[in-house]
Structure 1
Amino acid sequence: MIRYKKEFKQSLVEMHNQGRSYTDLSAEYGPSVESILLMMSYLKPASFNRPCQDFSFL
């Protein structure tokens, strides 16, 4: 199993956010599309579509 440095992972995520496809990044830099998808899930901030609930009564 290959371990990639966080800076490398972050650069792939940034390139994808700028419009590069997963397959293009995979072909150019080596990690599989699945690996890049995992990098995205770990490094991309979570977004929540539901409004925050009020828990002030707790």
Structure 2
Amino acid sequence: MNTLQFIDSITGRLAWPLAAVTLGIIFRRSVGQLLGRVQKLKWRDGEAELVLCP
């Protein structure tokens, strides 16, 4: 494996985690406010109940 192949491999493996972390940082406040309003959450059924007026 030469240097260019190594760089390509590392870039391909880090693209999605880096994008997820970047989006998490950008939308940190919005997600935090939304999670603070969750009253009930079901994991497997994918159901969440939110309070609309805090």
TM-score, normalised on structure 1? 0.29
Larger Rg: 2
Higher relative contact order by CA 8 Å / sep ≥ 6: 1 or 2?
1
Query: TM-score, length-normalised on structure 2?
Result: 0.31
